[in-house]
């Protein structure tokens, strides 16, 4: 199950990855909080069921997240992937999917939680930058790390050039982590991400 808010290039990477292998897993559905999210078209083209649930139709974060849980659970997913889902989730939501909720974040966490990660990496004079897949916990962008990819920052880089490089990393890392989970190799164990039984 994949949650999106925008263009859905990470969703496309997941779709393409699954197309290239035998049926270890499938994407049972895509939910977007924006009706114009281009990723919805990507899902439809791949024959994946879609739902739109606009946060604007709800009075508060709690009621939106309750409805979102309802929508997700109709698909009975084993795993929920936040692929550019630009909403902060409530503790109830996070608890409900604990251990089966992954996010992709465009920085080398724990550096640069939140937004504008590429510019912040440049502003702080970082020598390297990257992307991280992590389990989602109550702390925003603070859950146990699963896998990271790195790029060197060079003098010519700007936020756009870093974004382009980091996105290429994301397209490899998120399907990789999803495959590990689908194969039963990845678990959240006592707040630690364990791959093949080791933290
Ligand atoms: C990605 O860079 C992801 O790290 C961030 O939002 C972006 C989503 O892009 N959280 P897309 O919708 O997958 O193209």
In tens, the pLDDT along 84-95 reads 999 999 999 999
- Residue 76 alpha carbon to ligand 1 centre in Å: 24
Whether ipTM exceeds 0.90? yes
Cis upstream peptide for 127 (omega within 30°): no
> Would you say 157 and 123 are in contact if contact means Cβ atoms under 8 Å apart?
no
Specify the DSSP class assigned to residue 57.
Answer: G
CA–CA separation, 93 and 110 (whole Å): 22
Tally of domains within the chain: 1
Active site residue 105: yes
pLDDT of residue 157 exceeding 90: yes
Residue-wise pLDDT for 34-53, tens only, equals 999 999 999 999 999 999 99
Find the 73 Cα to ligand 1 centroid distance in Å. 23
User: Closest residue (by CA) to atom 7 of ligand 1?
Assistant: 84
Measure CA 94 to chain center.
13
- State the distance between the two ends of the chain, measured CA to CA, in whole angstroms: 25
This prediction has a pTM of: 0.96
Average pLDDT, the chain: 96
Task: Tell me the three-class secondary structure of 5-48, residue by residue.
Answer: CCCCHHHHHHHHHHHCCCCCCCCCCEEECCCCCCHHHHHHHCCC
Q: 179 pLDDT exceeds 70?
A: yes
Query: Does residue 110 sit within a domain?
Result: no
Q: What is the pLDDT of residues 143-156, one digit of tens each?
A: 999 999 999 999 99
Q: Is 150 among the domain residues?
A: no
Q: Could you tell me if residue 113 is inside a domain?
A: no
The atom number, within ligand 1, closest to the CA of 166 reads 2
Q: Is residue 190 part of a domain?
A: no
Choosing from 55, 96, 105, 134, the catalytic residue is 105
Distance from residue 103's CA to the centre of ligand 1 (Å) = 10
pLDDT exceeds cutoff 90 at 102: yes
Strands 101-105 and 80-82: parallel
Residue whose token pair is 């992709």: 104
CA quadruple 143, 148, 153, 158: dihedral sign: negative
- Ligand 1: which residue has its CA nearest to atom 8? 84
pLDDT band at 192 (very low <50, low <70, confident <90, very high): very high
Q: How confident is the model at residue 23 (pLDDT cuts 50, 70, 90)?
A: low
Adjacent-strand bridge partners of 5: none
Assess whether pLDDT exceeds 80 at residue 21.
Answer: no
Cα–Cα distances (Å) from 81 to 102, 123, 158, in that order, read 5, 30, 28
* Within-domain flag for 57: yes
Which CATH number is 35's domain given? 3.40.50.170
Tell whether the model's pLDDT for residue 71 goes beyond 70: yes
In a domain, 178, yes or no: no
Q: Is 51 domain-assigned? A: yes
Domain-embedded: residue 24:
yes
Structural domain for 84, as ranges: 1-97
CA torsion sign, 125 to 127 to 133 to 134? negative
Say which residues have a Cβ less than 8 Å from residue 129's Cβ, sequence separation at least 6. 107, 108, 117, 118, 121, 150, 151, 153, 162, 165, 166
């Amino acid at each position: 199950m994949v949650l999106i808010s925008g263009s859905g290039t990470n969703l496309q990477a997941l779709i393409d990855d699954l197309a290239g292998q035998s049926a270890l897993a499938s994407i049972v559905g895509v939910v977007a909080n924006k009706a114009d999210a281009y990723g919805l078209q990507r899902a439809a083209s791949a024959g994946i069921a879609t739902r739109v649930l606009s946060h604007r139709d709800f009075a508060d974060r709690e009621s939106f997240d309750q409805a979102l849980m309802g929508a997700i659970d109709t698909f009975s997913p084993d795993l929920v992937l936040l692929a550019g889902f630009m909403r902060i989730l409530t503790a109830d939501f996070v608890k409900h999917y604990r251990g089966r909720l992954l996010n992709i974040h465009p920085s080398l966490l724990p550096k640069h939680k939140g937004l504008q990660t590429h510019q912040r990496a440049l502003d702080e004079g970082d020598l390297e930058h990257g992307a991280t897949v992590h389990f989602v916990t109550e702390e925003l962008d603070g859950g146990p790390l699963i896998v990271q990819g790195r790029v060197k920052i060079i003098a010519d880089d700007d936020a756009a050039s870093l974004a382009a490089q980091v996105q290429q990393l994301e397209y490899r890392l998120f399907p990789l982590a999803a495959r590990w989970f689908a194969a039963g190799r990845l678990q959240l164990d006592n707040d630690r991400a364990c791959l093949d039984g080791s933290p």
